[in-house]
């Protein structure tokens, strides 16, 4: 049983949206991982269930992670740390916004300590900074070990394993019959890798990741992430089956760069809002929705398929400065 995440999350139909997309209203579903409860919800809460448990097994009391200025993962980690009584140190790519808005404001509200990096987000630089910050905190600790460094996006073996279990959860909610297509935003790759591992034993299910531009090596990283998760799960006594041989990553919806709003994403967010009442975020789920719309319009997805769209959260990002024109149809 989950300690703080609201699991299982709902698997909801969205009939008006399905009809607009040309899908079967009885076979199109939205997996509401925006409804995981703590700290405004989102997919990172599911990952943090396992990551907090890992920290406790190691007798650690500090969570260290990082990301972009408006990182959903950082905000989630700060909120969960407050919930369970741990210290949280965030390493964020600058510049520091003044005044703080959206996720950064919530980071402050949750009591996180924030350290700022110069320049825009570079995945490998931020990962190294998280590791060095954790090492610094450990060196200053009386025990020599107090901090758990969490990779960006929570995409460690433990975090990815959470989404292998999510695949099992989805199949159970569909009456034991796996879906034909699961579509998710893919940033650091943990959610896509975990879902792909979870559905790997069923040839009918295709997991499609819409690359949002968070890391340049996304396609190459997925197999390693899945392998890390499989190792963790086998140690837990659960064999998820083989590591997938291929991963479906679509990179044409990134736009100019990570976190840059695209017209396609804004239009897709408007479509979702006006036909389902669901609010997407400009960095992740709106770009995933743009991918969904494109696949439907091209005929790659049809009413003969059971399709699941992963809503991974990110609501506070709607209030970030870069989202001023978000969701306003052209």
Give residues with Cβ within 8 angstroms of 235, minimum separation 6: none
d(CA 104, CA 88): 14
pTM: 0.97
For residue 49, the SS3 value is helix
d(CA 279, CA 11): 16
What confidence score (pLDDT) does residue 229 get?
Answer: 98
Q: How far is CA 292 from CA 35, 182, 184, 226, 257, in A?
A: 21, 10, 9, 24, 20
User: Tens-digit pLDDT profile for the chain (330 aa)?
Assistant: 799 999 999 999 999 999 999 999 999 999 999 999 999 999 999 999 999 999 999 999 999 999 999 999 999 999 999 999 999 999 999 889 999 999 999 999 999 999 999 988 899 999 999 999 999 999 999 888 899 999 999 999 999 999 999 999 999 999 999 999 999 999 999 999 999 999 999 889 999 999 999 999 999 999 999 999 999 999 999 999 999 999 999 999 999 999 999 999 999 999 999 999 999 999 999 999 999 999 999 999 999 999 999 999 999 999 998 887 787 755
**Contact of 153 with 159, CB cutoff 8 Å:** yes
Task: Give the single-character DSSP code of 2.
Answer: -
Cα 265 to the center of its chain, rounded Å: 17
Domain ranges of the chain: 11-41+155-323, 44-153
What confidence score (pLDDT) does residue 288 get?
Answer: 98
Residue 207, classified by CB atoms within 10 Å of its CB into exposed (0-12), middle (13-18) or buried (19+), is: buried
The reply to whether domains 11-41+155-323 and 44-153 share a CATH topology is yes
Strand segments (E) across 130-174: 147-149
> Can you read off the two tokens belonging to residue 47?
């990952």
Task: Find the largest Cα–Cα distance for the chain.
Answer: 61
What confidence score (pLDDT) does residue 203 get?
Answer: 87
H or E element: which one contains 87?
strand 87-93
* Angle subtended by helix axes 102-109 and 72-84, to nearest 10: 20
Is there a catalytic annotation at residue 71? yes
Cα 122 to the center of its chain, rounded Å: 18
**44-153, what's its fold?**
Rossmann fold (3.40.50)
**Residues composing the chain:** 330
Phi then psi for 308, rounded to 5 degrees?
Answer: -120, 125
d(CA 78, CA 302): 40
Select which of 71, 155, 186, 196 is catalytic: 71
Bond prior to 95 in cis (omega within 30° of 0): yes
Give residues with Cβ within 8 angstroms of 295, minimum separation 6: 183, 208, 301
Q: Which CATH architecture fits 11-41+155-323?
A: 3-Layer(aba) Sandwich (3.40)
- Among 282, 275, 278, CA closest to 311: 278
What confidence score (pLDDT) does residue 329 get?
Answer: 58
């Amino acid at each position: 049983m989950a300690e703080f995440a609201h699991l299982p999350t709902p698997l909801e139909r969205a009939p008006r949206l399905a009809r607009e997309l040309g899908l079967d209203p009885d076979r199109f579903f939205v997996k509401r991982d925006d409804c995981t409860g703590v700290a405004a919800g989102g997919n990172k809460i599911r990952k943090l269930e396992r990551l907090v448990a890992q920290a406790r097994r190691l007798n650690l009391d500090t969570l260290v992670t990082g990301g972009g200025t408006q990182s959903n993962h950082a905000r989630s980690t700060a909120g969960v740390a407050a919930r369970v009584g741990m210290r949280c140190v965030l390493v964020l790519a600058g510049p520091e916004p003044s005044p703080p808005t959206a996720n950064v404001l919530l980071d402050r509200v949750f009591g996180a300590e924030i350290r700022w990096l110069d320049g825009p987000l570079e995945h490998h630089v931020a990962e190294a900074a998280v590791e060095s910050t954790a090492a610094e905190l450990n060196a200053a600790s009386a025990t020599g070990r107090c901090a758990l460094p969490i990779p960006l996006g929570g995409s460690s073996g433990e975090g990815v394993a959470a989404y292998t279990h999510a695949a099992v959860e989805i199949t159970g909610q569909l009456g034991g019959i796996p879906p034909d297509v699961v579509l998710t935003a893919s940033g650091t790759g943990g959610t896509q890798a975990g879902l792909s591992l979870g559905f790997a034993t069923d040839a009918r299910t295709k997991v499609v990741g819409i690359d949002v531009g968070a890391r340049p090596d996304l396609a190459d990283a997925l197999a390693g992430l899945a392998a890390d998760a499989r190792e963790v799960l086998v140690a837990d006594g659960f064999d998820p089956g083989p590591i997938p041989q291929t991963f479906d990553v679509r990179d044409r919806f990134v736009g100019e760069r990570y976190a840059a709003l695209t017209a396609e994403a804004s239009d897709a967010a408007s479509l979702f809002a006006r036909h389902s009442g669901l609010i997407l975020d400009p960095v992740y789920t709106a770009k995933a929705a743009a991918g969904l719309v494109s696949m439907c319009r091209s005929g790659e997805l049809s009413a003969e398929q059971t399709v699941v769209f992963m809503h991974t959260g990110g609501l506070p990002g709607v209030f970030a400065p870069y989202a001023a024109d978000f969701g306003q149809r052209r």
